[in-house]
Amino acid sequence: MDFHAARQNMVESQVRVNDVTDTPLQLAMRHVARERLCAPSQAFCAYGDVEPQIAPGRVLMAPRDVSKLLQTVEPKSGEKALCIAAPYAGAVLASVGLNVTVQEGDPRTMAVIEPYLKELKVATAVADLKAPVGAAYDVIVVEGAVAEMPAAWLKALKPGGRLGVVLRDGPVGRARLYIRLETGFSEREVFDSSPSMLPGFARTPSFEF
């Protein structure tokens, strides 16, 4: 399979047509080998409008959604970024020039993605996704949907830092941008999105008698 051609077609047919106009992001997505961040058996669909599996229970966010989420947080070269369950986003941000850490909660997922991330000089950590490693981040991106966002994610931002995440409690979710202020946070909805839920982040059913 010609992955280079598939990469260019992904940008033209799924990224640019969805109003992702950030040129450095487009260039990075034309370069990053997405097929190396999913299970080898899924490499053939790495550039389709799908969520290829990385490991049991974990997938890559579809190109359209991850590109729009990355543009939303307005990444800048030299900034410090945490990518929570977001290996592809991390690889793209590293290519744009950010200092990136990718945090995963499952060693099986890390075993798939770490070799390529090391080549890109991306730091990695396996830890509870609800407890961010490090602090004072300019950018945090989450490559999957959550029903409720842990407060610890917002606290890991520095003043002026931006967090992009999809909140979903039904068939369709909404991508949201959070910005840490000197006192508190601002929040706004950005676009509709329906990525897979991150394991452990679905709403716990309540029982009534």
- Interval 25-44: pLDDT, tens: 999 999 999 999 999 999 99
At residue 208, does pLDDT exceed 80? Answer: no
Tell the burial category of 4 from Cβ atoms under 10 Å away from its Cβ (0-12, 13-18, 19+): exposed
Query: pLDDT tens for residues 161-190?
Result: 999 999 998 888 999 999 999 889 999 999
What pLDDT shows up at residue 203?
A: 74
What pLDDT shows up at residue 42?
A: 96
Task: Give CA angle at 172 (36, 162), nearest 5°.
Answer: 65
Mean pLDDT for all residues in the chain: 95
Q: Which two tokens stand for residue 102?
A: 């990718």
Claim: this prediction has a pTM higher than 0.85: yes
What pLDDT shows up at residue 94?
A: 98
- The span from the CA of 46 to the CA of 63, in Å, is 9
Q: What DSSP state is assigned to residue 209?
A: -
What pLDDT shows up at residue 46?
A: 97
Backbone CA torsion sign across 101, 106, 110, 112: negative
Question: pLDDT: is 204 or 28 the higher one?
Answer: 28
At residue 209, does pLDDT exceed 70? Answer: no
Structural domain boundaries in the chain: 3-193
What pLDDT shows up at residue 205?
A: 59
What pLDDT shows up at residue 169?
A: 86
Query: pLDDT tens for residues 58-107?
Result: 999 999 999 999 999 999 999 999 999 999 999 999 999 999 999 999 99
Domain 3-193 listed as CATH 3.40.50.150: yes
